[in-house]
Amino acid sequence: MTRSSPGSFAVTLDAAIDESGLSLDRLRHHLAARGVRLSRSALSYWRRGRSQPEREQSMLAVTHLESVLGLAAGTLTAQLGPKAPRGRWLGEPADRIERRRLWPQLRALSGDLRPPPDGQLSFWSIHDRMVLDEQGCERALRVRMVAEAAVDGVDRLMTYYQSDSPLTADPCYRFVRSARLGRVCVDRVTGMVAGELRLARPLARGEVTVVDYEIRFLPSTPLDHYHRRFTRPIPEYVCQVHFGQRIPVNVRSYEQRCPGGPRHPGDALTVGATHVATLALRDARPGIWGVCWRWDGNSVNNELRPGNSSQAARIVHKGLGQT
């Protein structure tokens, strides 16, 4: 399967700038040291997809950008497609939240894992299924991702997991399909886990793959919510929480822009005879989307009362490039 990938120059440039940690002014300084003059507005327009380089001097600047940002030669220039009328280029504005804002604890693991730039994969759909045990603790997270390569040579994707409390044991990846498990880095103190899935073969730009996997957990504190973090929009997201015999009350969806930000309540969700609550979204914007619930106060510890949910372990997961 293939599909057109407009704006991949902007996506790749934006992700590379993000990963470098350099401001636009610092980038201009590095370019100036190489004898290349480029305005701040031009850089901003390029990374947002509002325009793309056309003139010879601009193309020269792109080759130097590849070097400054640590990209392989041709990474950016190969993505400059045909011009559209009136000197504008085909593409869409980059709509995203920086990965470091959604995953502030990831920086401690990035040095060992060296995750690829965000945006190399775009996701058509993601389906999460969180399975809880009879005590309301997480037992397994089952994931299916449909992802498209935005650039040539994509050979891996990243998975991220974050707990609110320190981990007592490492989660276990199982049942990986269309990929194999690569490196897994764990920081038990912060509860941050970053796992690498190596694709069966490198993807060409526009190729689509379907990846399945499961993460198993040791029993911990009962959960009162689950969510996924998206750096980019996603056409379809489905989140299902499978409760055991213990059924919570007041189950509903919610949205957050960033961790620690205000939580905006969404629709009430029904838990039917199958004991499953389902959140289904189309064209979800970047940010945090999830399901939260409240346990019956007669059957759980006081630490899970509304307003004190920080005591509960939180499980979150995101695929690279969200998206």
Residues 6+ apart with CB under 8 A from 299: 246
pLDDT at 172: 92
Which CATH code, of 1.10.287, 2.60.40, 2.70.50, 3.40.50, is assigned to 104-319?
2.60.40
Q: Which fold has domain 8-87?
A: 434 Repressor (Amino-terminal Domain) (1.10.260)
Q: Tens digits of per-residue pLDDT, 34-46?
A: 988 888 888 888 8
Query: CA Rg, the chain, in Å?
Result: 21
**311 with 224: CB under 8 angstroms?**
no
Domain assignments of the chain as residue spans, ordered by start: 8-87, 104-319
Banded model confidence at residue 12, pLDDT cuts 50, 70, 90: confident
Tell me the pLDDT band of 51, cut-offs 50, 70 and 90.
confident
Give residue 54's pLDDT: 79
Decide if 24 contacts 61 (C-beta within 8 A).
no
Residues 6+ apart with CB under 8 A from 2: 206, 207, 208
Helix (H, G, I), strand (E, B) or coil at 209: strand
> pTM of this prediction?
0.65
Q: How far apart are CA 232 and CA 11, in angstroms?
A: 10
**Sequence-ordered list of residues with C-beta below 8 angstroms from that of 165, at least 6 positions apart, any chain:** 191, 220, 221, 313
Question: Across residues 299-304, what is the average pLDDT?
Answer: 36
Structure tokens at 12: 């790749």
**Per-residue pLDDT, 311:** 29
Given the DSSP bridges, would you call strands 121-132 and 234-242 parallel, antiparallel or unpaired? parallel
Q: How far apart are CA 315 and CA 164, in angstroms?
A: 8
Dihedral in degrees, nearest 10, Cα atoms 67, 71, 76, 77: 50
Q: Cα–chain-centroid distance for residue 227?
A: 12
Pair 30, 112: CB distance under 8 Å = no
Residues 253-290: pLDDT tens digits?
999 988 888 889 899 999 988 999 999 999 888 999 99
How many CB atoms within 10 Å of residue 83? 12
